[in-house]
Amino acid sequence: MNRYVIINGAGGVGKDEFVKKCGIFNENVVNMSTIEFVKKIALSCGWDGKKDERGRRFLSDLKDALTRYDNIPIKYILESLRNYSNSVIFIHCREPDEIQKLKETLGARSLLVVNKNVPRVETNHADRCVFDCEYDYVIDNSGTLGELVENAQIFLLWLENEYRSDNDGVQSKMPLFSKD
């Protein structure tokens, strides 16, 4: 059975690095994003591949258009999931309504990664609304790589317990790991 995690956080806080650290403890970790397909389209339209403020705004606007037209980014993700079994699948998603849709559709858990050392990106609504929903789990990536590795291991244990609890009909409480 796959385990699904909708991961979010501002640009540059270490979401991909956290997923890589989870891969230390589980070889079946998959990292995907609702923006992957959008990036392919953007590149074919002349986007230079830079995730600067201008590029982030373009990607956000293009994703909005594809979502309004036919929910294309989510459909792309759901189709891609058919290729995996018995994996921990992290799906990067910024928009609160899409996070909720994915949680409901997949029985997923949501994860916010924060890092107080990284300034917030405010140039587009997708980056601005990172904190506009409740998350099941929060990882503070403001510390060392060693702490991130430890948090990855703890998170995977929590995730396994969450899915086991679902099967038992019992929901466990959300832990919050932060150095503050």
d(C-alpha 155, C-alpha 8), whole Å? 15
Report helix, strand or coil for 88: strand
pLDDT digits (tens, 9 = 90+) for 81-111: 999 999 999 999 988 999 999 999 999 999 9
pLDDT digits (tens, 9 = 90+) for 42-69: 999 999 999 888 898 899 899 999 999 9
Q: What is the pLDDT of residue 179?
A: 36
What ranges do the domains of the chain cover? Answer: 3-33+87-177
Mean pLDDT across the chain: 88
3-33+87-177: CATH class: alpha beta
pLDDT digits (tens, 9 = 90+) for 150-161: 999 999 999 999
Nearest residue to 38 via CA among 80, 67, 13: 67
* Kind plus residue range of the DSSP H or E element containing 5: strand 3-8
